[in-house]
Amino acid sequence: MKTGVTEIEDRLPAQLEYTLKCPPNVLIFSDHEETFHGHEVQDVLANISPDILEQNPDFTLYRRVKEVGRLGLEPDDLTGVRTTDNTTDAEKVLVPGWVLDKWKFLPMMNETFHRFPDKKWYVFIESDTYLFWSTVLKYVSTLDHTKPHCLGHRTTRLSDHQFMQGGSGYVLSHEALQRVARYIQTHRRSLDLWMEGEWAGDISLGAVLNDAQVPMTYAWPIFQPAFFGVTYFGMEFENRRFWCYPAATYHHMTPETIADVWSMEQRWIEEESDNSNPFKFLSQGDVFNNLMLPRMRFPREDWDNYCDIARPLATTAEACKQACLDDRECKQFQFDSVSLQCKIAFVPFYGEAKLGSGVYSEWLFDRIEKWRNSQRPCVRESFLRYGDIDLEL
């Protein structure tokens, strides 16, 4: 688990209560050593080159907290749950904790392997990631841990080489992490100097994975880079439907949504899981049915349900709803009480909170339920992928 002193109080309690409740071997890496709710939190930056720790401006916050502890934190330092799927990269680099975060990736890899050098699999998540253990454990059971596997949301966004998006979570086999740890040990000083010119830690880790000859498996959409509310569950690609894929992770989760998804997963395990069948997964469709659809029964204030079709003639919430009702394809609408703008959508999105926005969102539940019922049964569409090979379920 990767976190930081600026966010730990807001985000980590939910992870300790739910996601990290059962795993026996948990490491919590941060930029500040402390005991948090009875758990050891390790300063993973402590062994970075001393001259960098003392002089690099990225470590201004680190040096301040190192000197006076949490009393050194200022209100603007605290990120809490403010970063979302709509937070731009330009905004992120202005957050002191985020700037410091890039330095944690490589030391975290090295420290994890040396703390637990005999494990078959290593799972890495961030403090706003939700991890479906029921999915991940079954996924890795299909693979050989003595081979160099790295599973996650592989992307090239903002980089000229592939890397694993950190917030989506990623899983490394023993062989993979051993190669990475050896590479870091051999190139420690040069990597520290190189990191000064990089802006994102997961991009840097991608370069190390490549140099260490660890192939990165494109496991999207099983590993998700976003909150489930901003994802279209009806998308199709390569003759397969998102609806039928296993769900392994979501990113940009609030403590409240982590609690909700954990409760849903536990109900699914109790009612639907079949441990004798390694290919019985909690699917994206299960998430829609059990978590999102029930929440679409009721309208929400200060909520963006991602409508994208403007209806400029509707200048009241009532008129906006009528515009949606009049269009047979419309599934939901939103009305902005500040700009007096009406938008509708032909596909269902749950959306996310927009506190203080004045946006009112509502769903036509009967139409969305009909859309859900139109989803045909999944037949050889749900699969796991590693390398260029698909494992049909």
The domain of 212 spans: 8-218
For residues 353 and 206, membership in a common domain is answered with no
Q: What is the pLDDT of residue 90?
A: 46
Q: Which two tokens stand for residue 119?
A: 């494990």
Contact between 152 and 180 under an 8 Å Cβ cutoff? The reply is no
Q: Is residue 388 part of a domain?
A: no
Q: What is the pLDDT of residue 382?
A: 59
For residues 20 and 114, membership in a common domain is answered with yes
Distance (Å, whole) CA 352 – CA 307: 12
Low-confidence residues in the chain, pLDDT < 50: 81-82, 85, 89-90, 386-393
Query: For the chain, what is the HEC assignment?
Result: CECCCCCHHHHHHHHHHCCCCCCCCCCEEECCCEEECCEEEEECCCCCCHHHHHHCHHHHHHHHHHHHHHHHCCHHHCCCCCCCCCCCHHHHCCCHHHHHHHHHHHHHHHHHHHHCCCCCEEEECECCCEECHHHHHHHHCCCCCCCCCEEECEECCCCCCCEECHHHCEEEEHHHHHHHHHHHHHCHHHHHHHHCCCCCHHHHHHHHHHHCCCCEEECCCCECCCCHHHCCCCCEECCEEHHHCECCEECCCCHHHHHHHHHHHHHHHHHCCCCCCCCCCCEHHHHHHHHHHHHCCCCEECEECCCCEECCCCCCHHHHHHHHHHCCCCCEEEEECCCCEEEEECCCCCCEECCCCCEEEEECHHHHHHHHHCCCCCCCCCEEEECCEEEEC
Q: Which of 191, 218, 245 is the last residue of a domain?
A: 218
Q: What is the pLDDT of residue 87?
A: 54
Distance (Å, whole) CA 358 – CA 301: 7
Q: Is residue 291 part of a domain?
A: no
Q: Which of 177, 200, 218 is the last residue of a domain?
A: 218
Q: Is residue 283 part of a domain?
A: no
Q: Is residue 56 part of a domain?
A: yes
For residues 168 and 308, membership in a common domain is answered with no
Q: What is the pLDDT of residue 392?
A: 47
Q: What is the pLDDT of residue 188?
A: 87
Q: Is residue 147 part of a domain?
A: yes
Q: What is the pLDDT of residue 272?
A: 80
Neighbours of 186 (CB within 10 A): 11
For the chain, the domain total comes to: 2
pTM tops 0.85, yes or no: yes
Q: Is residue 292 part of a domain?
A: no
Q: By percentage, how much of the chain surpasses pLDDT 90?
A: 72
Q: Is residue 325 part of a domain?
A: yes
Q: What is the pLDDT of residue 278?
A: 59
For residues 183 and 308, membership in a common domain is answered with no
For residues 31 and 136, membership in a common domain is answered with yes
Q: Is residue 38 part of a domain?
A: yes
- pLDDT, one tens digit per residue, over 321-335 is 999 999 999 999 999
- CATH number of the domain bearing residue 303: 3.50.4.10
